[in-house]
Amino acid sequence: MRLFPLFDRIIAIFGVISARRGAARAGAGGGVAALNFGHLKAQSRLPVFLTMILLFTYLCYCLSSRCDALPRPVFSSGAPEGGRLLGSAVPLLRKKFPQAIIIGVKKGGTRALLEFLRVHPDVRAVGTEPHFFDRCYDKGLGWYRSLMPRTLEGQITMEKTPSYFITKEAPRRVHALSRHTKLIVVVRDPVTRAISDYTQTLSKSPGLPSFQNLAFRNDSATLIDTSWSAVRIGIYAKHLENWLRYFPLSRFLFVSGERLVTDPAGEMGRVQDFLGLKRVVTDKHFYFNQTKGFPCLKKPEGSSRPRCLGKSKGRPHPQIPTEVLLRLRDFYRPFNLKFYQMTGQDFGWS
């Protein structure tokens, strides 16, 4: 039984070639006997076998080295559906952490701002509020990133969660993710904002006590209850101080909730500039809805009707006694002035 059938045949071929060469030399008078590789024993063929393995290994090494020198296709590790070839005709889609976040404030106009921004072709945003940096931080960055929309190169990923602005841990957590994150704060007259906040809660809990009973401590007509969230959120200077421990003022844009209603295109121009975007969203995109008392987006292409905010937006506010409003304005005035100084903007709240 032959041990190396393939190499037996190779050796036999070498034997025939050698025999022919030997015969030729003998005819020429050389008298040199031809070697007959075909009759070598298995022990003699073993060194030949090992030599050929070494040659074969060297040949494979040379070929693989040449392949390594050729350019390889590059894949994006961030692509959710496996890599897509860079430089190919297929656009590269990736899920990225947000480069800009609308961090506040509740009932300031954050939903309107986000909807207006989503008209821009270079903005992709999460529809729902992730609440990652306040409620869901323990779910991890992988979970957070999975919520993000897929974006093309050059597009901005955004999210909005208004409660970040008043959450003590949020600035440190956002900074840990990226100190380059752009932060947008939509602010509104704190008295009007508090009433709007109360109106929203009242719509969900009709048995809620009156606004004045919640705003004043122990039924007092002078002591404001700052533990009530509707009041506490409006102390903007206090919350901003917490954020400025981690981010410079240059990373913030403060949007006027009032001007977002009266001049949406102008305020959107500021936002687009801040984000480094071309001014695509302009006055041609808006019309004023008299019923809601709020600007709506004109009918987009392919849609049968204009795009307005939901029924929860633009609710009529309950009547609040004048003395309650005056007391609240007195309470907020020093905080407002400090906020103006900190931001370098006068929002004109009396």
What one-character DSSP code corresponds to residue 310?
A: -
**Domains recognised in the chain with CATH numbers:** 94-343 (3.40.50.300)
If one compares 25 and 178, the residue with the highest pLDDT of the two is 178
The edge-to-edge listing of strands for the beta sheet with 182-187 is 123-125, 156-160, 100-104, 182-187, 252-256
Per residue in 218-275, pLDDT (tens digit) is: 767 779 999 999 999 999 999 999 999 999 999 999 999 999 999 999 999 999 999 9
ω into 255 cis (within 30 of 0): no
pLDDT band at 316 (very low <50, low <70, confident <90, very high): confident
Per residue in 133-189, pLDDT (tens digit) is: 999 999 999 999 999 999 999 999 999 999 999 999 999 999 999 999 999 999 999
Q: For 68-82, 222-236, 301-315, which range has the lowest pLDDT when averaged over its residues?
A: 68-82
Is residue 285 a contact partner of residue 217, using CB atoms and an 8 Å limit?
A: no
> What SS3 state is found at 198?
helix
If one compares 315 and 49, the residue with the highest pLDDT of the two is 315
By percentage, how much of the chain surpasses pLDDT 90? 64
Q: At what angle do helices 110-117 and 264-274 cross, to 10 degrees?
A: 70
Q: What share of the chain is helix, strand, coil (3-state, %, to 5)?
A: 45, 10, 40
Q: Which member of 107, 182, 204, 338 is catalytic?
A: 107
* Euclidean distance between CA atoms 230 and 191, whole angstroms: 9
pLDDT band at 312 (very low <50, low <70, confident <90, very high): low
> What SS3 state is found at 1?
coil
* pLDDT at residue 2 is higher than 80: no
Query: What pLDDT is attached to residue 60?
Result: 61
Is residue 144 a contact partner of residue 341, using CB atoms and an 8 Å limit?
A: no
* pLDDT at residue 43 is higher than 80: no
* pLDDT at residue 281 is higher than 70: yes
Across all residues in the chain, what is the average pLDDT? Answer: 82
Query: What pLDDT is attached to residue 308?
Result: 82
* Euclidean distance between CA atoms 148 and 158, whole angstroms: 8
Q: What length does the chain have?
A: 350
Can you list the pairs that 197-202 forms with residues at least 24 positions away whose Cβ atoms lie under 8 Å? 197/106, 197/107, 197/229, 197/230, 197/233, 198/230, 198/318, 199/315, 199/316, 199/317, 199/318, 200/107, 200/312, 200/315, 201/230, 202/318
User: Which whole number is the average pLDDT over 73-93?
Assistant: 49
* pLDDT at residue 22 is higher than 60: no
Query: What pLDDT is attached to residue 76?
Result: 37
* pLDDT at residue 208 is higher than 90: yes
User: Which whole number is the average pLDDT over 13-27?
Assistant: 50
Q: For 74-78, 99-103, 143-147, 342-346, which range has the lowest pLDDT when averaged over its residues?
A: 74-78
State yes or no: is 41 an active-site residue: no
